[in-house]
A = this chain, B = another copy of it.
């Protein structure tokens, strides 16, 4: 068994590795036979491959979420990597394979993220905001540290939601240090809550889709609902200025009505949160796309970056 990962093999090289089936479509070839269109993945990325002449048993066995043993050759199809699968099978029962080991995760461990969030909570000095944020983070603790931040655009990995939240909070700390007029409590409270509705909007970390609530209500109103109920539960006046501000900062974080915010940012901290959200998301997207771009080349056009191509430099000057 090779110890290298999917993307560590070169074109035309043969591999025998464990990999996770990310998705498995059953299709019918022109000769009428069924075949499997698989997407194989490990932490180095994902790559498609076909299994021709799939028997009903194979269709039943090789499903999304399964870890398999695979013999394959890396090839190129229309400029993109793909696998020519020579053999696919289930691992030995003795083999210690855990699907979670094959999924990309945030570059911080959950424990570290929790500690950083705790430090941030100490800096939210407005007692109502502090209580609301603590209440909601505790309520969604399981999902907040496990979910991705999006279905595919950015931070689409395990723990991506918490990691994206922390990245924004760090940027917020820098901005608050530089501009003294910023209300840190409001900015941090808004940063911690802004995407928490995604724990309801998305189905979970694996095979992420939108839930019915996610489609019909959307994560922005879903987190507002949570804030409303939390305030009710904690006996906090929803129409006092501090609660209007917290809700506004969260509601306005997409910046423009066209992007789904029902109001545009009308307080300084809402404006900043929106811009830091865009900044962190775009840095993460650029990072991801450049990982699979050769030095000196331009990437494909990236939907989440308004269709821009990104350039990977030949030389770094850091």
Instruction: Report if A265-B308 is in contact (Cβ < 8 Å); known contacts: A84-B28, A241-B212, A275-B275.
Output: yes
Whether a CB of chain B sits under 8 angstroms from the CB of A317 is yes
Whether a CB of chain B sits under 8 angstroms from the CB of A313 is yes
- Our pick among B183, B290, B310 for the contact of A317 (Cβ within 8 Å) is B183
Binary interface encoding of chain A residues 260-302 relative to chain B, with 1 for a CB under 8 A from any of its CBs, else 0:
1111111110011001101100110011001000001010000
Whether a CB of chain B sits under 8 angstroms from the CB of A5 is no
Cα of A125 to Cα of B315 in the assembled complex, Å: 13
Interface size on A, residues (CB 8 A): 93
Give the shortest distance, in Å, between A139 (CB) and chain B (any CB).
14
Instruction: Report if A28-B317 is in contact (Cβ < 8 Å); known contacts: A257-B258, A311-B212.
Output: no
Contact A275 B279 (CB under 8 A): yes
Give the shortest distance, in Å, between A206 (CB) and chain B (any CB).
20
Cα of A220 to Cα of B178 in the assembled complex, Å: 27
- Our pick among B174, B184, B215, B244 for the contact of A171 (Cβ within 8 Å) is B174
Q: How many copies does the complex hold?
A: 6
Instruction: Report if A263-B216 is in contact (Cβ < 8 Å); known contacts: A84-B28, A275-B275, A286-B268.
Output: yes
19 extra interface residue pairs, beta carbon distance < 8 Å, beyond A27-B78, A242-B315, A266-B298:
A27-B77, A28-B75, A30-B52, A170-B178, A213-B239, A213-B244, A215-B263, A217-B251, A218-B262, A220-B262, A221-B221, A221-B224, A225-B225, A225-B228, A229-B232, A245-B313, A257-B257, A260-B263, A267-B311
Closest 9 CB pairs of A and B: A174-B174, A216-B248, A126-B317, A185-B317, A262-B262, A275-B279, A266-B311, A216-B244, A225-B228
Residues of A within 8 A of B (CB): 25-32, 50, 52, 75-78, 82, 84, 125-126, 129, 167, 170-171, 174-175, 177-186, 212-213, 215-218, 220-221, 224-225, 228-229, 232, 238-239, 241-242, 244-245, 247-248, 251, 257-268, 271-272, 275-276, 278-279, 282-283, 286-287, 290, 296, 298, 305-306, 308-311, 313-318
